[in-house]
Amino acid sequence: MKTRNNALAWLVVAISLVGGFGGCGGSPAIVPTTYETFKGKDDAFQLQYPAGWEATGGGVPGRAWAKFTSGNAEISVDADAMGSIMADISSPQGQMQDKDPTREAVHKVHVGEREGFEEQAGVKEQEPTVVKTSMTDGRRSEFTGTPTFGPAIHGYRTTVLSMDHRIRVVCQCTESQWASLKPVFDKVIASVKK
């Protein structure tokens, strides 16, 4: 069951990457000046997204998703209970007193998903760093890559754990828009909460 859920999650990521960057460059994304609030299905997550970007979302019990797009930029959010269960399993006893961030459950979940993400998305990630969100500390890795079709991409993969969901946020755009959209992606990630 775990393998099937992981395969399904990576298929969704791969489809969104191909769909978002499968064309011949696309139009530039809107660089927003204001943001709107999006609440995931069954209150799995909440975040601020760029006003003027197309927003879609949905889900089934135990899993919620959202996608925000503008031109050749995309922010995708996936929240599932399986990631939270994996965190519980990987969490060491006495974690609250442990000052080593690499021993935290969120770090282990984030690193554990790295290889599959890189393979499916055709990107290379940097080492994860601690990122503050409105809910808790998460992990964020910057990535770059050149898909088979389309321009070079640049983005973030972020993992945040709530009590009952693993929330993954993937923000990406063309390399040429990274400098203007990086602050937008930073703001969206910082706004993630339950």
Q: In the predicted model, is pLDDT for residue 90 greater than 80?
A: no
Q: In the predicted model, is pLDDT for residue 45 greater than 50?
A: yes
Sign of the CA dihedral with 147 first, then 118, 180, and 15 last = positive
Taking the model in full, what pTM does it have? Answer: 0.81
Q: Which two tokens stand for residue 95?
A: 């974690």
DSSP 3-state assignment of 189? Answer: helix
Give the CATH fold of the 2-190 domain: Protein Transport Mog1p; Chain A (3.40.1000)
Confidence of residue 15 (pLDDT cuts 50, 70, 90): very low
Q: In the predicted model, is pLDDT for residue 101 greater than 90?
A: no
DSSP 3-state assignment of 145? Answer: strand
Residues 6+ apart with CB under 8 A from 55: 36, 38, 49, 66, 67, 68
What is the structure's pLDDT at 98? 54
What is the structure's pLDDT at 113? 94
What is the structure's pLDDT at 85? 53
